[in-house]
Each structure stands twice: as structure tokens, then as C-alpha cells.
């Protein structure tokens, strides 16, 4: 009979390297304890890398760079998918994702309809903050990020350069999504968003 560890290794081979795994994805292969013990052994022998408590990586490796760690956003999306939760980057992280700031925040903060929690990943942290459904009802990925980025900048503090960049970004978004999402935003943000797509028409 194959051990739980051997079954896990066989399953890992069905996936590309770089995939993120959680213990519960293997619970059909053995008892919870057997799975957790097998994952510890696979971490010890280098088959898996533990990114955080209960989060494992089937690592890609580069001859010069060593282990290629996934972007923090990939980890957050994997957690959200497991939890069947919706997430949207917010604060300084939203600014960085849009290219409106070069500052890479230590903490990536997401609004969510899932559990409020903080996950430590190396020296960084992913923070999930519970929010009202309205804040997660956006249809466009870019327009959703723009709303959160503008909230972070603040009313009356948006520079001409930031407005120009936001206009360029929103031109890549479906105008129907922008109009829909603008209705969910505070009035001053709605004005900036609608003006951005009007100037493109």
C-alpha cells in the first residue's frame, strides 16, 4: 500500500510547478494528521515550500535565482479561491498595482466578504478586511482598483499626473463596467471616473 506521502507526490506531478496548495486539497488521500505529517516531510526534503501556516508551494526553481516565489497577489487569490471569497486590493497596494506609486508596501491589504485575517508570508503580510457587499460589487478589475486607489489618495489630493494615468488605465476597461462601478463610488471619485471615459469618446 502506498503511503499518504507517496499519494501526495503523485498528485503534485499532475500540476505545474508554481502552484499553491493547502492541506485540505489532500484530505481525500489520508487522515488529516497523516496529510499534515506528510506535508512536513515533503517540506523537509524540499519537494514543497511552506509559504505560511497551512499554505504550501510546489516550487519552480531557477539555477541562478533558486526558488521562484509567487507574487503576493497570487497567494491572496489562491486563499480567496479556497475560501470562495471575493477580494479587491486596497490602500497603498492598489496604488502600486496600478503604477500610481512605486512604493511596495510590506502589507498587502484586501477588502473581502470572507473571514477577516492576517497571513504572514516571510517578512510581508496579507491582510483581509471585511467590507460591505457594495464595495465588492464592481465589474471591472481596473475600475475596482481605481476606486480603491483614489480612496487612498483622498478627495482634493489627486495630482494632474495621477488623473492622466487613471484616464489611460480606464481607457483599457470596458466603458460599461466603468459606468457601473462609478455608481458604487463616492461622488468625487465617480466624477473623475466618468470624466476619464467621456474624454475618450
pLDDT for position 197: 83
Residue 20, SS3 per DSSP? strand
pLDDT for position 196: 86
Q: Which helix (H) or strand (E) holds 76?
A: helix 72-83
pLDDT for position 103: 86
pLDDT for position 106: 86
pLDDT for position 1: 54
CATH number of the domain at 4-67, please? 1.10.10.10
Which of 47, 142, 45, 51 is CA-nearest to residue 98? Answer: 142
Directed axis angle between helix 187-198 and helix 175-182, to 10°?
A: 160
Whole-prediction pTM? 0.88
| CA dihedral for 171, 176, 181, 185, sign (positive or negative) | positive
For the record, the C-alpha cell of 110 comes out as: 484586501
pLDDT for position 200: 61
Q: Which residues of the chain have pLDDT under 70?
A: 1, 199-201
pLDDT for position 112: 97
Which of 55, 127, 120 is CA-nearest to residue 89? Answer: 127
In sequence order, the β-bridge partners of residue 52 are 55
pLDDT for position 201: 58
Domain residue limits, the chain? 4-67, 72-198
Amino acid at each position: 500500500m502506498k503511503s499518504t506521502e507517496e499519494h501526495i507526490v503523485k498528485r503534485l506531478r499532475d500540476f505545474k510547478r508554481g502552484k499553491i496548495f493547502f492541506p485540505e486539497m489532500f484530505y481525500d488521500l489520508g487522515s488529516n494528521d497523516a496529510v499534515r505529517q506528510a506535508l512536513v516531510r515533503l517540506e523537509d526534503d524540499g519537494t514543497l515550500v511552506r509559504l505560511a501556516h497551512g499554505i504550501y508551494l510546489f516550487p519552480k526553481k531557477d539555477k541562478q535565482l533558486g526558488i521562484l516565489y509567487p507574487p503576493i497577489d497570487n497567494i491572496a487569490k489562491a486563499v480567496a479561491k479556497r475560501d470562495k471569497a471575493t477580494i479587491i486590493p486596497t490602500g497603498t497596494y492598489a496604488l502600486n498595482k496600478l503604477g500610481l506609486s512605486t512604493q511596495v508596501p510590506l502589507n498587502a491589504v484586501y477588502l473581502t466578504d470572507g473571514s477577516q485575517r492576517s497571513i504572514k508570508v516571510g517578512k510581508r503580510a496579507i491582510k483581509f478586511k471585511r467590507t460591505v457587499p457594495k464595495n465588492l460589487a464592481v465589474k471591472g478589475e481596473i475600475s475596482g482598483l481605481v476606486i480603491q486607489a483614489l480612496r487612498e489618495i483622498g478627495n482634493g489630493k489627486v495630482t494632474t499626473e495621477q488623473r492622466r494615468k487613471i484616464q489611460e488605465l480606464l481607457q483599457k476597461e470596458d466603458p460599461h463596467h466603468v459606468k457601473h462601478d462609478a455608481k458604487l463610488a463616492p461622488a468625487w471619485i465617480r466624477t473623475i471616473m466618468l470624466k476619464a471615459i467621456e474624454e475618450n469618446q
